[in-house]
Structure 1
Amino acid sequence: MKAPPRPQRLRKLSDEEIELWTQVAATVTPRPESVLPARLTPPPAAAPKPQVEATALPPATSAKSPAPPPFAPLERTLKRKLSRGRMTADAALDLHGFRQDEAYGALHAFLHRSQGQGARVVLVVTGKGSRGGDAFGNAGVLRRAVPMWLALPDFRPIVIGFEEAGRPHGGAGALYVRLRRRGTPR
């Protein structure tokens, strides 16, 4: 265990240094705005607030509607059949090469069209993104954006649930999207 450090001793000023300091200090004048008043006056006392009688408030109600329920994952048997190739998706959309705004519009139109044609499960290929990603390890703008879009209110009447696709269909770069039947209530 180390001993605590000793405080450094200040050396005394030489006669030369004292004389120099005196000359410098004589040339300095205080700034006018930095001069403090001779005596500070205390602030005036605030007038007491009148007592308000406590009343019961009505219970708080939320103006927002409750959050929609989370999406249901695909049934295990359905996902297994899709990923093993025993069942195929009713339709597929490949978003490779799309910009975000183009991809959103294409996805929305594709899901509406597929639902209208009676599709139950569709494949949406987003791609995994560039190999390197950015400095923060983020890769695949559409890969991150499409699941968020599917959870938006625009897609709720169409989409029942979605899940990452099996390896033969693109794995992490694709989604199986389960669609509602046309006219089925949410």
Structure 2
Amino acid sequence: MTRRKLTAEEIELWRKVAKQAERLHPEIPQSVHPATLPKPKPTKTPKARIDAFELGQKVPAKPSRNTLKPSVTEQLRGAPVQMDNKAFGRMKRGKLKPEGRIDLHGMRVDTAHPALVRFVLSAQASGKRLVLVITGKGKDRDEPGPIPTPRGVLRNQVPHWLSIPPLAQAVMQVTPAHISHGGDGAYYVYLRRVR
């Protein structure tokens, strides 16, 4: 877009307005401005040099998976060990036999939570150390959408329930069960001793 030139009437009108206006800072000397500003000199840009390239040269070899949050199983496997390391290793290999078990598989959340609280607290009171909580792996959603949804409601809720009161004071360690005891569909819950 080019600038249009002012007409003689517009220049005369401007001069009248400028004479009648009071200066904000009369102590500062008025600088003389040229009537027209000089045109800026264009700078020459160097010609862009295009390097040779091959199609797809910057594409990573294997596309990275987009994971928003690690699964509950991965979080539990990465959690620090709170119990005896030797017993923890035996438990993860399926060598320790659970002293009690509860099957929440197929229950709804509103019935599973009170059943879990009752079971864990009564198991601790009776002196049991290792119990098995079976949640099931959960089923896939009927409609896969753009937002990833975790598979299995109980499978994701049980570790959370075990980490908040009233069960937090009773639970020492939670880890996914060995394949012989249900694998990713069950959790080992190692309980604290009653003092």
What TM-score range do you get, normalising by the shorter chain? 0.5 to 0.7
TM-superposed CA distance for 1:177, in Å, is: 0.6
Counterpart selection for 2:191 from 176, 179, 182: 179
CA distance in 2, matches of 1:162, 1:126: 13
Please list, as runs of the form range in 1=range in 2, the aligned pairs for 1:1-186 lying within 5 A after superposition: 72-132=81-141, 135=144, 136-183=148-195
1:24-69 residue CA offsets vs partner (Å, 9 max, x unmatched)? xxxxxxxxxxxxxxxxxxxxxxxxxxxxxxxxxxxxxxxxxxxxxx
Structure 2, unaligned runs of 5 or more: 2-78
Q: How far did 1:86 drift?
A: 3.2
Cα contact 1:95–1:126 (8 A) shared by 2: yes
Q: Distance in 2 between matches of 1:175 and 1:133?
A: 26
Determine helix, strand or coil for the equivalent of 1:128.
coil
1:151/1:85 CA distance change after superposition, 3 Å: closer
Letter in 2 for 1:142: L
**AA partner of residue 172 (structure 1):** D
Q: For structure 1, list consecutive stretches of 5 or more residues without a partner in the other structure.
A: 1-6, 8-69
Pairwise CA RMSD:
2.3
For this pair of structures, how many residues does the alignment match? 115
Contact 1:83/1:166 (CA < 8 Å) preserved in 2?
yes
Q: Is the Cα contact below 8 Å between 1:73 and 1:162 reproduced in 2?
A: no
Query: Quick one: distance in 2 between partners of 1:134 and 1:79?
Result: 39
Superposed displacement of residue 76, structure 1 = 4.1
Q: Give the fraction of aligned pairs with identical amino acids, expressed as a percent.
A: 37
C-alpha distance in structure 2 between counterparts of 1:143 and 1:89, whole Å: 19
TM-score, normalised to structure 2, is 0.52
Distance change >3 Å, CA 75–CA 163, structure 1 → 2: farther
Residues 136-173 of structure 1, C-alpha deviations (whole Å, 9 max, x = no match): 34210000000111111211221112111111111111
Q: Aligned equivalents of 2:194 and 2:142: distance in 1?
A: 39
Q: Which residue of 1 aligns with 2:38?
A: none
Give distance in 1, aligned partners of 2:123 and 2:151: 28
Q: CA deviation at 1:82?
A: 3.1
Say whether the 8 Å CA contact 2:170–2:192 is kept in structure 1.
yes
Q: SS in structure 2 opposite 1:163?
A: strand
Q: Which amino acid aligns with 1:146?
A: V
